[in-house]
Structure 1
């Protein structure tokens, strides 16, 4: 089976690191930042892998990534709230399409949305 790695547009490398690494707990797997050129990097958290790009031709801001079967979403949600991140206070709720699931959406500083879903 093929592996899918969404590319998300970013505009500020340090803001991206603050959001994805510091707040959400993703790790930087690798980065490509030639002097004077836009940055490109891969971040991951468990089996969720994303590419973040400052290159304008790679993608448009405002994408949404649906992360299904995220384990222990309630604990992750509480961890995020406990950090008192100034720009994002996500809620946790049961979505209309599946009352047995839990869902949380966070929006990065560039308008991209990550929707985490746990099936109970």
Structure 2
């Protein structure tokens, strides 16, 4: 499976596939599209991340080598309008991309905010309702105030002492899924 490190090869493949359908895009345009699919505003940002990881000694995948990238939770949804009201309008996530296999097919989409990506799916085989996603973060008090300031009538989360030397704020989406945001008390705590 390809990762963001394969962006140039992916752009080349995309350009070739589009050309076969008589759609001409430049290599640069394809790089921009690939960057957007990975949740970045443009190719320059994605390119900088690739270089930063190479400079930091992050191992590249080789035959027989094990390397992981980001884990992206898939959350089951049943109503696109309610999902956008919750994830976009209440939590402040951006819709990065969406996919459907055709008209009147289930939605599969990526939402992101400040380094976290979530996949939302209407397809019954992708995820079970009632999942919990745990997210380490920084700035939880500001995030909590932001959410309360939106006056979302279906959710007014509290901010609590988690009992593991951290703050915790849990929000429930309209489909029974939980997002549990947590921030360690200590600024130098490596968990976040």
Q: Which residue, out of 111, 114, 126, partners 1:58?
A: 126
How far apart in 1 are the matches of 2:114 and 2:98?
18
The Cα shift of 1:118 comes to: 0.8
Q: How many residues align?
A: 117
SS class of match (2:144): helix
Alpha-carbon separation, structure 2, partners of 1:45 and 1:92? 20
Give the SS at the match of 1:65: strand
Q: Does 1:12 align with 2:79?
A: yes
Instruction: Return 5+ residue gaps in structure 1 as ranges.
Output: none
Whether 2:132 is the aligned partner of 1:67: answer no
Q: Which residue of 1 aligns with 2:32?
A: none
* Displaced runs of 4 or more, over 6 A: none
Work out the CA distance in 2 between the residues paired with 1:13 and 1:55. Answer: 12
Higher strand share goes to which structure? 1
CA distance in 2, matches of 1:78, 1:97: 22
Larger radius of gyration: 2
TM-score (norm 1): 0.94
Structure 2 residue runs without a partner (length 5+): 1-67, 186-192
When normalised by structure 2's length, the TM-score is: 0.59
Question: Alpha carbon RMSD of aligned pairs, Å?
Answer: 0.9
How far does the alpha carbon of each residue in 1:90-111 deviate from its partner, in whole angstroms, 9 at most, with x for none? Answer: 000111222xx11100000000
